Structure 1
Amino acid sequence: MDKIESIAEATFTLEHFRRQPPRVLDSNAWLERQSQRESSARSYPRRIPLALVEAHGLYVRDSQGQFFMDCLGGAGTLALGHNHSVAVAAMRQTLDSGLPLHTLDLTTPVKEAFVDELFDCLPPAFASQARVQFCGPTGADAIEAALKLAKIATGRKGVFTFSGGYHGMTHGALSLMGNLGPKNLPGSLMADVQVLPYPYDYRCPFGLGGEAGIDAGLSHIEQLLSDPESGVLPPAALVVEVIQGEGGVIPAPARWLQGLRRLTREHGVVLVIDEVQTGFARTGDLFAFEHAGIEPDVLVLSKALGGGLPLSVIVYREALDQWKPGAHAGTFRGNQMAMAAGTATLRYLRQEGLAAHARAMGQRLMAHLSELQGQYRCIGQVRGRGLMVGVEIVAPPTLGKKAPAADGALAKAIQQQCLREGVILELGGRHGAVVRFLPPLIIQPAEIDVLVEKFQRALSSAVQVESRSA
């Protein structure tokens, strides 16, 4: 058995796999059938052409019997990894109980327990005057609900958002997106959306960086909100990610977030914080906004919320609760299995101190990657927080430029070499040049070390191939 398996057995992971996988259809045949029957909008199979047949914890096995370290994990959905016993037991108990599995927004004991656990996760001051709205089972639908709520509560219609942002693919959420590709479609997007510069220090939009860049960004927003000649009407909401995920794992500085909180409060703007990917211990605290010592007006949650199953909510200040019955609805907002798995997962996260564990494992991962940065000129920056880490891949520096150009082609080659090494990673950021790490929060120190060893081999192979073809 290879090194991964011996380490994983020590952490009770790969011992759960069947020793003799069942005979299955060749993965190439599966992928060919998928390409023939699924839409051209499919995305992940184009970059990660795998047919998966079994999964436990950090690891998945494909139809050829190869093991992979899954550092995509449903784009951050699987906080405890695949098929964790806590989540599986909660789902089985719900199935065996005879409780209804689908209840719209009618309450049940499962739902009551879930809301209790969710509110216990929130900062006490926020939870004490919060309301929760169950949404359709995606983060995008929760964003739509947040926009509706803010517009109804304020009587305004505009929205401020940020370059590099990602909030989903529905009509309103897509209008907030930074990436121009998906927005370049026939027909109009939601009107009255103002896209603002995000504090991306490595490529500062103001060409300043550091504290000066933070000051410039806040000054720009303040001018838009206070100048009667700014040409921009006061918005209903400002929607922001504390750490941009799809945008390239870019953490916002605490002082900038504190400035946003001050400005939105002063100007009556609803501060919507999108924690769909960062929520529930991913960044080393239960919520990423806690790093800055602020609280939102509306908190958008999904992904890890349902313990691996589809679920989304918004949690918001009671003073905003001015919408009418039925103002936001959805058939599958009563997903009892997701609530049961979510309750068990959230409880486990807190009981086992996985926020602190994610913080420590993230520090270990970033330390290893920073060492590689000193060895490989193509690594422009290593950044992130907790177990949400990005490596920006760059071309050789150009004289006179503050930051080298992003190298999406090399990043893609690294991703493909990682697959050959048995590691599943995703890309993001400008030009797809950021290699993103989203391993489950239960990952162990020895597994971090193996992960980086494999990443280094993939990186070295990709760089060598590029050098030969140059």
Structure 2
Amino acid sequence: MHSHTNVTPISDLSPDAMLAHADYRFAPTPRLERQASVESNARSYPRRIPLELKRAQGIHVQDSEGRWFIDCLAGAGTLALGHNHPQVVQAMRNTLDGQRPLHTLDLMTEAKDDFISELFALLPQDFAKDARIQFCGPAGTDAVEAALKLVRTATGRSNLMAFHGAYHGMTQGALGLMGNLGPKAYLGGLASGAQFLPFPYDYRCPFGVGGEQGERIGLHYIETQLTDPESGVLLPAGMILEPLQGEGGVVPTSANWLREVRRITQAAKVPLILDEIQCGVGRTGKNFAFEHAGITPDVLVLSKAIGGSQPMAVVVYHKSLDVWKPGSHAGTFRGNQLAMVAGSTTLRIVREQRLDLHAAAMGERLTGHLRGLQKDYPQLGDVRGMGLMLGVEMVNPDGRADALGRPPQDGALASAVQRQCLQRGLIIEVGGRHSSVIRFLPPLIITAAQIDQVADIFAASVAAAVNLR
């Protein structure tokens, strides 16, 4: 692995040559040391993944020391087609070589029209036929802010409903809707007016019962909040949720729960905002996660994968909500043309190659490996997720169990497994409560052989982390 030069095409390297499963050591490079000295204390990923990346293709990245890694972080789910997909790169190159405009605010271009067409082709037609789209600033959190403005303007109401474990971004309104207390603990004046609701976290049911009974209790509570004139909760401008929570610990909703939430919000005339910034575009085994439940949202927030590796964020919503005035939401970089051509190419490939079905099959394969490993290691408390958005909640089997008999989360073990994976050439992330959930977000193009390789590395890493305790 260390002998390969920079001119060797990645495609020419065998899996064994790319990943010798060596016990890597990570001495800081001069650039990493400079990053630590000048970059904000808020930086996050380099603390856990101390790599200086040099080269990338497909599901692999190479660091400045010449070491190869399988990337199961993939830009926090942004890289649906992996790194430097040739068709995406060619589309951007054609734009640059053709002297096309690169920055257009919200003026129309061929690239923009193509992007809209591809996105609407990927959406369920029951939603797309009556939809409008708002292009936002480059980050998903800006699209969340736009969605909040949209529903507040349309309803004339201001409060919002969100869920425990939610993550919708780091700007003012989005932070007010976040479940995680850490990033907002010292910030006063968060203006969202959020009412937080229980999320159907089956493994750690907030009502201590779990299963369908836990779902029914939670749904009854939500409906009561919206219908009881003595609930003390004003009717909200909207309800926002992730059909599959990401940063909250890869916590899925059931199809029945999501259908019931849709019924409840429709009856109360509360717009339902679905945040599919991370779980959209084929990742869960459907083009969009809400399709598992067969529902139609009022508002859909998208970012990450839709830009084909470039910054892009949009809100798609029912035309009945389109009552805000010109300029109600804007953004200098809403006309990022490279993102539009990269995004439309990515969306077309996902649609034509049915990468949603491939993600479902590969996710099932990886889940099988993880559940097989779970039989030997009780430290793998829960394996969950959908498609290629999977999580493993690490626990301390010797700790005090909760009301459901679940052992406590073990964030230290999750971090140890992450380090062991990195030393063996696998990049994964941790998240969830107490940072105890190991997360898998590989590109949707990952093959069965590569899934098996990921599982092998993970198994060896779990064994090493457990044995070192």
Name the TM tier (shorter chain). over 0.9
Alignment of 1:268-347 (within 5 A): 268-347=269-348
CA distance in structure 2 between the aligned counterparts of 1:89 and 1:185, rounded to whole angstroms: 46
Q: Residue 238 of structure 2 contacts residue 273 of structure 2 at CA under 8 Å; is this kept in 1? A: yes
CA distance in structure 1 between the aligned counterparts of 2:105 and 2:246, rounded to whole angstroms: 31
**Following TM superposition, by how much is the alpha carbon of 1:28 offset from its aligned partner in structure 2, in angstroms?**
2.2
Q: Residue 243 of structure 1 contacts residue 249 of structure 1 at CA under 8 Å; is this kept in 2? A: yes
Q: Residue 54 of structure 1 contacts residue 62 of structure 1 at CA under 8 Å; is this kept in 2? A: yes
CA distance in structure 1 between the aligned counterparts of 2:96 and 2:107, rounded to whole angstroms: 18
Alignment of 1:346-357 (within 5 A): 346-357=347-358
* Corresponding position of 1:147: 148
Q: Residue 158 of structure 1 contacts residue 233 of structure 1 at CA under 8 Å; is this kept in 2? A: yes
**Following TM superposition, by how much is the alpha carbon of 1:31 offset from its aligned partner in structure 2, in angstroms?**
1.0
CA distance in structure 1 between the aligned counterparts of 2:211 and 2:401, rounded to whole angstroms: 19
Q: Does 1:118 align with 2:115?
A: no
Q: Secondary structure at the match of 1:374?
A: helix
1:207-241: CA deviation from partner (whole Å, max 9, x where unpaired)? 11111111101100111100000000000010000
Q: Residue 58 of structure 1 contacts residue 71 of structure 1 at CA under 8 Å; is this kept in 2? A: yes
Q: Secondary structure at the match of 2:361?
A: helix
Percent of aligned pairs with the same residue?
Answer: 58
Q: Does 1:438 align with 2:446?
A: no
CA distance in structure 1 between the aligned counterparts of 2:306 and 2:35, rounded to whole angstroms: 29
Q: How many residues align?
A: 452
CA distance in structure 2 between the aligned counterparts of 1:14 and 1:200, rounded to whole angstroms: 42
Q: Evaluate the alpha carbon distance shift between residue 14 and residue 342 of structure 1 in structure 2; reply closer, same or farther with a 3 A threshold.
A: farther
CA distance in structure 2 between the aligned counterparts of 1:261 and 1:43, rounded to whole angstroms: 36
**Following TM superposition, by how much is the alpha carbon of 1:352 offset from its aligned partner in structure 2, in angstroms?**
1.1
Q: Secondary structure at the match of 1:449?
A: helix
Alignment of 1:345-384 (within 5 A): 345-384=346-385
* Corresponding position of 1:51: 52
* Corresponding position of 1:137: 138
CA distance in structure 2 between the aligned counterparts of 1:125 and 1:391, rounded to whole angstroms: 35
* Corresponding position of 1:22: none
**Unpaired runs of 5+ in structure 1?**
3-8, 20-25
* Corresponding position of 1:28: 29
Instruction: Identify which of 456, 461, 464 aligns with 1:458.
Output: 461
**Following TM superposition, by how much is the alpha carbon of 1:29 offset from its aligned partner in structure 2, in angstroms?**
1.4
Q: Does 1:246 align with 2:216?
A: no
One-letter amino acid of the structure 2 residue matched with residue 269 of structure 1: V
Superposed CA RMSD in Å reads 1.7
- Provide the TM-score with structure 2 as the length reference: 0.94
Q: Secondary structure at the match of 2:383?
A: strand
Q: Residue 401 of structure 2 contacts residue 408 of structure 2 at CA under 8 Å; is this kept in 1? A: no
Instruction: Identify which of 412, 416, 424 aligns with 1:413.
Output: 416
CA distance in structure 1 between the aligned counterparts of 2:107 and 2:13, rounded to whole angstroms: 40
1:87-135: CA deviation from partner (whole Å, max 9, x where unpaired)? 1011011111211100000000110111011111111111110000000
One-letter amino acid of the structure 1 residue matched with residue 222 of structure 2: I
Q: Evaluate the alpha carbon distance shift between residue 13 and residue 426 of structure 1 in structure 2; reply closer, same or farther with a 3 A threshold.
A: farther
Q: Residue 160 of structure 1 contacts residue 196 of structure 1 at CA under 8 Å; is this kept in 2? A: yes
Q: Secondary structure at the match of 1:416?
A: helix
Q: Secondary structure at the match of 1:272?
A: strand
CA distance in structure 1 between the aligned counterparts of 2:105 and 2:38, rounded to whole angstroms: 32
CA distance in structure 2 between the aligned counterparts of 1:443 and 1:435, rounded to whole angstroms: 18
CA distance in structure 2 between the aligned counterparts of 1:189 and 1:75, rounded to whole angstroms: 26
CA distance in structure 1 between the aligned counterparts of 2:400 and 2:67, rounded to whole angstroms: 44
Q: Residue 396 of structure 2 contacts residue 409 of structure 2 at CA under 8 Å; is this kept in 1? A: yes
Alignment of 1:35-114 (within 5 A): 35-114=36-115
1:130-176: CA deviation from partner (whole Å, max 9, x where unpaired)? 00000001110000000000000001001000000100000000111
- Provide the TM-score with structure 1 as the length reference: 0.94
Q: Evaluate the alpha carbon distance shift between residue 443 and residue 191 of structure 1 in structure 2; reply closer, same or farther with a 3 A threshold.
A: closer
**Following TM superposition, by how much is the alpha carbon of 1:351 offset from its aligned partner in structure 2, in angstroms?**
1.1
CA distance in structure 1 between the aligned counterparts of 2:41 and 2:192, rounded to whole angstroms: 28
**Following TM superposition, by how much is the alpha carbon of 1:185 offset from its aligned partner in structure 2, in angstroms?**
1.7
* Corresponding position of 2:257: 256
One-letter amino acid of the structure 1 residue matched with residue 357 of structure 2: A
Q: More displaced, 101-110 or 188-197?
A: 188-197
CA distance in structure 2 between the aligned counterparts of 1:254 and 1:332, rounded to whole angstroms: 36
